[in-house]
Amino acid sequence: MSNILVTGGAGYIGSHTVHALIEAGHRVTVVDNLYSGHRWAVHADARFVECDIADDQCVRSVIKDDQIEAVIHFAGHIVVPESVADPLMYYQNNVVGSLSLTKACAQMGIKKLVFSSSAAVYGSPAEVPVNEETNQNPINPYGTTKLVTEWTLRDLSEAKADFQYVALRYFNVAGAHSNGKLGQSTPEATHLIKVACQTATGQRDSMSVFGTDYPTADGTCIRDYIHVEDLAQAHLDALTYLDQGGTSTAINCGYGRGYSVSEVVSCVKKVSQVDFCVELSPRRAGDPAELIADNAKIRQLLSWKPRFNDLEIICKSAYEWEKQILSN
């Protein structure tokens, strides 16, 4: 497969994946409405089309004109607290938009699709680490919208024998590209490592730890953090799997190791050598106590080999990115 359509390719994870695709020799077309993405983040060798995935005519035209053979679908809203506050916006964009895209793909004969899903589909699992068979019971609208799209792809795959997909269920994505040219630039980001790095670089006066009374060793939430470049590679591995005749499936993307919020904050303080201000705040709605991936499936099925499985590497790359933002 050489002609790949990437929706949301101007966003954080999408832009890293576009770079990896082009470095691997693929021809890439990016469709993005630039709601939270950035034009500068799109690789210079990718064709860029500014449109919304709900624009059926535009999407079908791109698929036809660029002879698209496979789709990687990132485009979607991703902020959990925002989804709790404005669920209709999330259903409109993440569900209705994804449905429109999927319909266009089916009409235009696309047979392979990789979907940007989330560990939020698991909600608050009774046991961790969670594998792909763990009960999916999301506790926030963001997770629900991801699960609904997974169901849509599953049902389409069962109805059309020649359509196959991989839903990659991300755990907590962080870090920046090792070339120093890409990083997380989402407006008003809520991701812990980025917020901590912004505080370390003085872009914020302080940061909050939401909840210190969870049933964990230090009372703060535990998450499985994955470097964005390793996640980008997982998308390439998923395309290879489908190209080699792989069947539709959902796969966890994580390292299988959890760190608490307090541990992450301490790590950012260590790599930055800045003792920034941290405030203790009440829990946020929609946050499970602990989410850690069982990643046996991605290692076995996709032969995925992560290169940045180290919290200090993740935090250091994120911190260097924030310093670069300040210097520009």
- Torsion angle in degrees (nearest 10) through CA of 218, 224, 227, 228: -120
Would you say 228 and 175 are in contact if contact means Cβ atoms under 8 Å apart? yes
Using alpha carbons, list the distances in angstroms from residue 303 to 63, 111, 138, 257. 29, 22, 28, 19
The values of phi and psi at residue 60, to 5°, are -65, -35
The catalytic position among 12, 90, 122, 142 is 142
DSSP letter, residue 130: B
Instruction: Retrieve residue 126's tokens.
Output: 């009774």
CB 142 within 8 A of CB 169: no
Contacts with 277 (C-beta within 8 Å, 6 or more apart), sequence order: 199, 205, 206, 207
Nearest 5 degrees, angle CA 176-CA 181-CA 186?
A: 60
- The question of whether 142 is a catalytic residue gets the answer yes
- Rounded CA-CA distance 244/3 in Å is 16
Question: Taking a C-beta distance cutoff of 8 angstroms, is the pair 227, 309 a contact?
Answer: yes
Angle at 10 between CA 36 and CA 252, to 5 degrees: 90
Count CB neighbours of 22 within 10 A: 16
| 121 C-beta neighbours (distance < 10 Å), count | 24
3-state secondary structure (DSSP) of residue 170: strand
- For residues 10 and 18, give the distance between their C-alpha atoms in angstroms, rounded to a whole number: 9
**To which H or E segment does residue 249 belong?**
strand 249-253
Catalytic residues: 142
